[in-house]
Homo-oligomer: A and B are copies of this chain.
């Protein structure tokens, strides 16, 4: 087991009607709240009215900043930072999914910082403080509600970059599975693929002595796989949604990679897909991950065979672990397909002709490698994307 530091101070309020408690939480952080969200449809919703009422009952003044887009943009982050400073905001409240939360986190770390907030995303600076951020989660997927990261896209060059720091953890996150009942099925499926991809990135490691976290990751995968069909067929099934929503948080709150180094090359590759084509991140992951698994499986075929056995119940054939490994990968593909996702690039509107460009972008023109489980060159990334065609 690798040495590690684990620290996650985000307070989770989970359950029915928890959005009504936002005022009581928010009033710990001053008197003015910046409400940050994406589409205007939120404004007209019943739960938004409840949130506003809770904040007002707590004597808090609210200012709105809407317009967060998927792959949230740096320009809106800068606008939010300016607004917080001008208005003396005490808390940024994100209402939405990963994009809105990441945008709110970026605003949070930008406010007390003298330089340009993009410094945190280029690695020029590390955030040591933040205006407090709170979350009301509406889309289970990214795990950003309890993570120490934020991913922002700079429109100048369409660079998608991540910042990570303890200061980025939200102070509190409110998770009411009921808020996910009305999500469109395709968005639900993308969220589930995203959750699986967070678990799988952590699973593929060269660290040894990691049976406990192997077991926990496998257990979370089994729980997601079991609940997934139900949230699509019965979108008001509270318990199944609760399994998905809490799995999404646990998949990415840092616990499941304690003592191990995950891979993350598939995320790097997908970032270039969604950077150029603006596809949903989860949809991209459902395409990239099977191809990545097929390409790297021989690096540690027994780990793939273990996954197949423990998650999919495939009987271990000790003399032919490659058979088990391939069977396990096929089951993941079949699972994502069953949710209505494509596992091939053309299925998400991406043609082979820009493969070379994407592979170049994620390896800095072929000068660097990506991935920890297996270090991939530009040529490897091209091969993986071809496998995904």
A residues bordering B, Cβ < 8 Å?
A: 1-16, 18, 208-209, 211-212, 215-216, 218-220, 222-223, 226-227, 238-240, 242-243, 246-247, 250, 255, 258-259
- Give Cα distance in the complex from A190 to B355, angstroms: 58
Known: A243-B1, A259-B14. A211 touches B238 (CB 8 A): no
Q: Which 9 A-B pairs have the closest CB atoms?
A: A3-B15, A209-B239, A215-B219, A1-B242, A212-B223, A9-B9, A7-B11, A219-B219, A6-B12
B16, B215, B246, B259: the one within 8 Å of A212 (CB):
B246
- Give Cα distance in the complex from A70 to B240, angstroms: 43
Task: Name the residue on B nearest A7 (C-beta).
Answer: B11
Query: Chain B contacts of A238 at CB under 8 A?
Result: 1, 209
- Give Cα distance in the complex from A4 to B226, angstroms: 22
A136 to chain B, nearest CB (A): 15
Known: A220-B216, A259-B242. A18 touches B1 (CB 8 A): no
List the number of copies, as a whole number: 2
Report whether B243 and A227 are in contact in the complex, using a CB–CB cutoff of 8 Å: no
Given A211-B243, A216-B220, 20 more A-B residue pairs with CB atoms under 8 Å apart are A1-B15, A1-B238, A1-B242, A1-B243, A1-B246, A3-B14, A4-B12, A4-B14, A7-B10, A8-B9, A9-B9, A12-B258, A208-B239, A209-B240, A211-B223, A212-B220, A215-B220, A216-B216, A218-B219, A242-B259
Report whether B1 and A5 are in contact in the complex, using a CB–CB cutoff of 8 Å: no
Report whether A247 and B6 are in contact in the complex, using a CB–CB cutoff of 8 Å: no
Query: Chain B contacts of A219 at CB under 8 A?
Result: 212, 215-216, 218-219
- Give Cα distance in the complex from A242 to B6, angstroms: 14
- Could you write out 10 A-B pairs with CB less than 8 Å apart? A1-B238, A4-B14, A5-B13, A6-B11, A7-B9, A211-B243, A212-B250, A215-B220, A218-B219, A246-B259
